[in-house]
Structure 1
């Protein structure tokens, strides 16, 4: 699931312009998500803790827990749990809306604009988060996230990352730096 960053601008990279999800892929994502979402709070916390442990620079956007180092402390943070719930709810809305391109675009536009303009989060963190989500789902739900299901999720997150990047560009985002830690997995997978 890990990709290394290539030279140049990524032109010709199939992940830059993913094809639309097929009905089969959409159903695989929705079916697997329904089971994942039953453990919404625990999965959300696991995702954010993994993000912050593996990519500590991502904590800089969270004044409430940016100085917490220990995973156990992160797990027990009420603010982290609250944000994890928001992330999972946004993902749930996206997954439930996969049949409506307009609804998906609307959600991604709202998320992208708020993160670009209000929170000033570099869009690379959406790519990083996508990879972390795929890792956690693959580990925590290995019997559910088969290679075929994982491929559908990968395609979904490539679409999400591309859409978010487009929203950032529309919003006038100019900072396109990448964090140095674990840069080989910072691309959409």
Structure 2
């Protein structure tokens, strides 16, 4: 077992006012379909990264994406993911609130569920991928750049929580 390093991650640049506005504007469009988008994100995560299902006892052995899509537990967790993102986006102007939400998410995933931190990096990438594809009319390069900065910031904060907790990897990924 080895301690996970932050890979010398530097703190991402803070979002500018215009980037916060772009994120909040596009999120308004995304959040209108939050249930479907959340499910699409998790299905993409599980199809492209099947090992990520290991943390979900109710459907870790389900291979068929259509069965996954109908899973009540998947839909419930998708809702939690989307609610957390919504809280972050609504509070982009309040760094303390953002940090508080990410600390709670990081701690619960590290301590209770023992999710390897690499899955947060993977999930951030999947979120960007789904949003850019499903909302391509709204995700210009500039908007995608702002969202990328947000996802980098999310990952950086969560990694900081794992580091604070002295995270020790439970597998050799």
Same fold flag (TM > 0.5) = yes
Q: How far does residue 171 in structure 1 lie from its aligned partner after superposition?
A: 1.3
Q: How far does residue 164 in structure 1 lie from its aligned partner after superposition?
A: 0.1
**Structure 1 runs of 4+ off > 4 angstroms?**
176-179
Q: How far does residue 177 in structure 1 lie from its aligned partner after superposition?
A: 6.3
- CA distance in structure 2 between the aligned counterparts of 1:45 and 1:99, rounded to whole angstroms: 27
Q: How far does residue 18 in structure 1 lie from its aligned partner after superposition?
A: 0.9
Task: Show the counterpart of 1:93.
Answer: 87
- CA distance in structure 1 between the aligned counterparts of 2:159 and 2:62, rounded to whole angstroms: 29
Structure 2: runs of 5+ lacking an equivalent: 1-5
Q: How far does residue 30 in structure 1 lie from its aligned partner after superposition?
A: 0.5
- CA distance in structure 1 between the aligned counterparts of 2:74 and 2:81, rounded to whole angstroms: 10
Q: How does 1:58-97 map to 2 (within 5 A)?
A: 58-97=52-91
Find out whether 1:21 has 2:21 as its counterpart: no
Q: Which of 155, 160, 175 is the equivalent residue of 2:169?
A: 175
TM-score of the superposed pair, with normalisation by structure 1 = 0.86
Describe the superposition over 1:77-110 as per-residue Cα deviations: whole angstroms up to 9, x where unpaired: 1110000000000000000010000000000000
Q: How far does residue 175 in structure 1 lie from its aligned partner after superposition?
A: 1.5
Count of paired positions: 169
Cα RMSD between the aligned structures? 1.6
TM-score of the superposed pair, with normalisation by structure 2 = 0.93
- CA distance in structure 2 between the aligned counterparts of 1:16 and 1:30, rounded to whole angstroms: 25
Q: How far does residue 10 in structure 1 lie from its aligned partner after superposition?
A: 4.7
Are the aligned partners of 1:124 and 1:176 in contact in 2 as well (CA < 8 Å)?
A: no
Find out whether 1:48 has 2:42 as its counterpart: yes
